[in-house]
Amino acid sequence: MLNIIKTLPNPKPSRRQFVLAAAAIGATLVVGFRPTFSRAATTAAAQPLEAYIRIAPDNKVTILSSQFDMGQGAYFGIATLANEELDAEWADITVEGGAGNPAFYGNLAFGGEFQLTGGSSSMTSSWERYRKAGAAARMMLVSAAAAAWNVPANEIKAEKGKLSHASGKSATYGEMAGAAATVAVPADVPLKSKDQWTQIGKADVRRYDTKAKTNGTHQFTIDVKLPGMKTAVMIHPPLFGATVKSFDASKAKAMKGIVDVVATPRGVAVVADYMWAAIKGREVSPSNGTTLKPRSAVPPTSSPSTAPRRRSPAKPSPATTAMWRRPSPPPPR
């Protein structure tokens, strides 16, 4: 396995500053970057889960995304950046969320010190480093093939997940990944010019995740399941600032899958083994709340005909309404 490490010398890195280094660990080609300024960067070489691109012997390409996909298409966008330079088959590409190490996945749009998805920054932060990762992987695959076939590297084509030469020799990226892991990391990694792009900004490039997002099999962050992990849903008060006075959890606790029902400063949490149980438990957990004082009525201004119409404030009540129901409607004007 090969890790390509990007060294960013300044605390606020420019996305145009790249220095590459590498470490070989096995037969899978792994390309990644590590900024040295981050406090999370404690080792000289990246670990397998701290890389950007993996190419396995079976030709499967895994792209580890620094940004999380919440439906906005970040996974596809970042995969497109990497694959513009790598040129693997889309059918062989999958995307996974990065391992949560800001040393590798820090958001460069905000200085790179922490991992963040938001602010329309996914492409800004990923634009150059993922293209560099794809280009470096392709160059190393080509170099490995050139050495294995004893031909000039500039005579080898790398496209659609396959290396080929006019002599008839060919290999998939996966078949050459092990050899590529022993190749020296290129000191200079040029990127395609805009007029050479075949995937970035092209309407005919179909999103690899459309089917999964349509049939419900796509894994979002909310779908993550860890051993022993529980799910909680909240019962919020009907009015901002209300606090819990009492609640009855007896019915919920008797339901299958419910672990506990607990009061919090902002409502009641129903904890369960899985989401559906938590939702159903919430439905049978009535609670009473104590609300804050209603705001004072706004005194009329000008004449009655031009004064803004205001509702009279509702009198404080015992607040026995279940918290998941809407408050009683105000009195008619």
Going from the C-alpha of 15 to that of each of 10, 102, 125, 188, the distances in angstroms are: 11, 16, 8, 15
CATH number for the domain spanning 236: value is 3.90.1170.50
Of 16, 50, 53, 19, give the one whose Cα is nearest residue 128. Answer: 16
- 220 within a domain of the structure (yes/no): no
Tell me the residue range of the domain where 158 lies: 2-215
- The per-residue pLDDT for range 238-264, each reduced to its tens digit, is 777 778 888 888 889 999 999 999 988
Q: What is the pLDDT of residues 134-145, one digit of tens each?
A: 999 999 999 999
Please determine, for residue 174, whether its predicted confidence score (pLDDT) is greater than 90.
yes
Domain identity same for 262 and 322:
yes
Nearest Cα residue to 198 out of 144, 159, 155: 159
Q: Residue 303: inside a domain, yes or no? A: no
Q: Where do the DSSP E strands lie in the chain? A: 2-6, 20-24, 29-31, 53-55, 61-65, 93-97, 157-159, 162-164, 170-172, 231-235, 243-247, 258-264, 267-272, 287-290
76 lies in the same domain as 188: yes
In this structure, what are the phi and psi dihedrals at residue 123, rounded to the nearest 5 degrees?
A: -75, -35
Residue 159 identity (one-letter amino acid)? E
**Last residue of a domain, which of 215, 249, 271?**
215
Q: What is the mean pLDDT of the chain?
A: 75
> Is residue 34 a contact partner of residue 6, using CB atoms and an 8 Å limit?
yes
Answer yes or no: is pLDDT of 316 > 60. no
Residue 302 covered by a domain: no
The secondary structure of residue 170, as a DSSP letter, is E
Which of 215, 238, 265 is a domain's end point?
Answer: 215
Model pLDDT for residues 274-299, shown as the tens digit of each residue? 999 999 998 887 665 544 433 344 44
How is the beta sheet containing 258-264 ordered, strand by strand?
231-235, 267-272, 258-264
Name residue 263's beta-bridge partners. Answer: 268
What digits encode the pLDDT tens for the residues 26-78?
556 677 654 444 333 333 333 433 578 889 999 999 998 888 888 888 999 99
Residue 151 has pLDDT above 50, yes or no: yes
